[in-house]
């Protein structure tokens, strides 16, 4: 008769682990347990496992029910291991290490390339930290980045030519696609830093009347901007149109004109970014991927 237990060793100590603990769900509970033991904080531990606190707490309770005993002492300020929790911790870590070896073996059979599509002229400074964290943690994975408009990227995602796309928030078929919020872009007036308007703390849209203006064709808020200009009967003096934000910034610094752009994280010489007063052009930037297209590289990037 086949045993319902598997042998594991912790140092020189031997113990038996019931096979029921090897279900994916129970492995997740074991991860919850180890994280809580390390952080001693339910909120932080839930965040590290990318779940809400109620889901995390339920997982801990189910694990305690499985063992028939509390694994943690709880009060309003502190979380600490019980004696049974202390006994379980090294065994739980060993179990997760074994599972990690199994996953690593399968990872070696999977694609190590991640293909990411980016919306034209997206604020790359907001995306680069995520890419950097991923590359630091998973040095054996390669990145393939490509740009396009929303329609092009969504079509390539549908054809599995891209693993995920980063675009402006848009309605999606939630039966087919999944998404997470990344950050928010908000337009400001970008103008040469020695222009008379550059000293203002805020500026109304009507100040654009007659100013030399550079149109950004791939702006994610292009339609909203020009609808508002039309509504307020503001006539802009368009002197140039471009789909390249780096060129637009260069022309602004050279006083060719001004434009409406998101303020970069790092200051740029020659350009002042002034918040708009009385109107807000804001877009939520999302990462979108197909539900049935999960593999280790993508899962790691989503969580990075």
pLDDT digits (tens, 9 = 90+) for 44-92: 898 888 888 899 999 999 989 888 889 999 987 789 999 999 999 998 8
Using a 10 angstrom Cβ sphere, with 0-12 exposed, 13-18 middle and 19 or more buried, the burial of residue 99 is middle
**CATH code, domain carrying 162:** 3.40.190.10
Q: What's the mean pLDDT in 222-232?
A: 90
The last residue of one of the domains, among 47, 73, 107, is 107
| 83 HSE (CA, 13 A, CB side) | 0
**One domain for residues 298 and 172:** yes
User: In terms of domains, do 177 and 290 share one?
Assistant: yes
User: How many folded domains does the chain comprise?
Assistant: 3
Out of 107, 138, 167, a domain closes at 107
295 and 166 in a common domain: yes
Are residues 156 and 196 both part of a single domain? no
Q: Are residues 158 and 220 located together in one domain of the fold?
A: no
Residues 99 and 131 in one domain: no
Fill in the DSSP letter of residue 265. Answer: S
Are residues 288 and 155 part of one domain?
yes
In this structure, the answer to whether residues 67 and 149 fall within a common structural domain is no
| CATH number reported for the structural domain that contains residue 21 in this entry | 1.10.10.10
Burial class of residue 159 (count of CB atoms within 10 Å of its CB; 0-12, 13-18, 19+): exposed
Token representation of residue 140: 């054996």
pLDDT at 23: 54
- The owner of tokens 């509970």 is 29
Confidence of residue 218 (pLDDT cuts 50, 70, 90): confident
Give the pLDDT score at 19: 45
Q: In this structure, are 9 and 103 located in the same domain? A: yes
The answer on 144 and 132 residing in a single domain is yes
Q: Are residues 149 and 263 in the same domain?
A: no
Q: Which of 13-22, 198-207, 258-267 has the lowest mean pLDDT?
A: 13-22
Say if residue 199 is in the same domain as residue 288.
Answer: no
Sign of the Cα torsion 270, 275, 280, 283 reads: positive
CA dihedral 132, 138, 143, 147 (to 10 degrees): -40
Structure tokens at 45: 């531990």
Kindly report, residue by residue over 127-164, the tens digit of the pLDDT: 888 888 888 777 777 888 899 988 999 999 999 899 99
Half-sphere exposure of 231 (CA within 13 A, CB side): 8
Q: What is the pLDDT of residues 170-213, one digit of tens each?
A: 888 888 999 999 988 899 999 999 999 999 999 999 999 999 99
**What is the residue range of 150's domain?**
113-181+284-303
Q: Contact 149/104 with Cβ under 8 angstroms? A: no
């Amino acid at each position: 008769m086949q045993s319902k237990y598997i042998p594991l060793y912790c140092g020189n100590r031997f113990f038996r682990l019931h096979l029921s603990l090897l279900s994916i769900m129970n492995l997740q509970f074991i991860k919850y347990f180890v994280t809580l033991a390390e952080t001693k904080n339910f909120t932080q531990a839930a965040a590290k496992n990318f779940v809400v606190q109620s889901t995390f707490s339920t997982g801990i309770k189910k694990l305690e029910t499985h063992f028939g005993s509390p694994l943690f002492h709880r009060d309003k300020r502190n979380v600490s291991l019980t004696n049974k929790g202390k006994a379980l911790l090294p065994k739980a870590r060993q179990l997760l290490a074994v599972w990690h070896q199994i996953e690593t073996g399968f990872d070696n059979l999977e694609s190590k390339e991640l293909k990411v599509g980016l919306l034209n002229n997206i604020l790359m400074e907001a995306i680069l930290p995520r890419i950097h964290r991923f590359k630091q943690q998973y040095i054996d994975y390669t990145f393939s980045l490509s740009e396009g408009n929303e329609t092009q990227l969504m079509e390539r995602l549908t054809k599995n030519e891209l693993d995920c796309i980063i675009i402006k928030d848009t309605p999606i078929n939630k039966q087919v696609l999944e998404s997470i919020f990344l950050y928010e872009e908000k337009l400001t007036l970008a103008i040469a830093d020695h222009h008379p308007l550059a000293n203002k703390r805020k500026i109304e849209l009507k100040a654009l009347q007659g100013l030399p203006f550079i149109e950004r064709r791939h702006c994610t808020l292009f339609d909203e901007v020009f609808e508002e200009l039309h509504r307020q009967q503001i006539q802009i003096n368009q002197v140039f149109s471009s789909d390249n934000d780096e060129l637009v910034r260069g022309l602004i610094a050279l006083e060719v004109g001004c434009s409406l752009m998101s303020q970069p994280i790092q200051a740029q010489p020659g350009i002042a970014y002034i918040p708009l007063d009385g109107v807000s052009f804001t877009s939520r930037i999302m990462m979108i991927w197909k539900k049935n297209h999960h593999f280790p590289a993508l899962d790691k990037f989503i969580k990075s």
